[in-house]
Structure 1
């Protein structure tokens, strides 16, 4: 599954402007296509890691840390690594559980897991970032289901499919449940709400 920039924006907490800037500077480059920008699931996780690190450290340090990954022979996708920070430096852990300081300012790092990164958090400019695996009450993001595309819980039906059905007002939530019995009525507003957030990101309002 590929993620257009607007969906990547909502799931990662990065603005569309940040995504463009990071794409142009090479911090996080879309792994699927560049024009238009199409991100992989791993790319979106990496964007989320960058945004989480930005709540604890500066963008300059994050940029330096990511740039130094390859120099220290961390050649896999950044989303596959476990990072830590103490605010002044950023470190990465290898398969042997050894830490490498990527910014060269030794200190006691705060190790964090993807589970922490996936929890809701607030960016430095006050933007509320959704729970990554549960962006809405009835939506789930699972790398093993639809490639991580946000879907109605317990189904393989994407949020966008449901939101599109009620977009023009001709169908109700009850109608959607009739056509898709696995989609509960209560899930329809969640799909619409998430679609609205994606649209807001696309227009620059988020």
Structure 2
């Protein structure tokens, strides 16, 4: 099995809890261990457009080389939940949502009750399947088997448990939109 070498990692920028309608999303593209590009888009806070926006960003200039998409969790900009199987289908690529620890699904479901379209968003989370512990992180995946996903995550763990494209996307998003990066990816 060959581990994908051309991947993009996405994270959203910090945003205020009130008043932000559009939240920037940053994607960093890697060829092996080398950063080769950056893409940016906007998603609606607690909206319903993350899957479409990410598919458009993936389908841009770098699409010919990409083999996998990594997401810093399954939701962006609050509760703008990505439809993992749909993103994998639309892009033709493996998609992994990565988290440092397993989510508290009870709290997430309760919080979604107060969000417009919460039931549909919950259905997307369920459709993505359970988060599996892999290589020291938790992963939901579409379009890639468990062993291939684990090999990909391990190959990209350069500076800790979080795969390097996600770590760098987090730093870039924070630095560009806050003025300086801070915190952990």
- TM-score category, normalised to shorter length: under 0.3
TM (norm. structure 1) is 0.23
State the structure with more CA Rg.
Answer: 1
**Larger helix proportion, structure 1 or 2?**
1
**Larger strand proportion, structure 1 or 2?**
2
TM (norm. structure 2) is 0.25
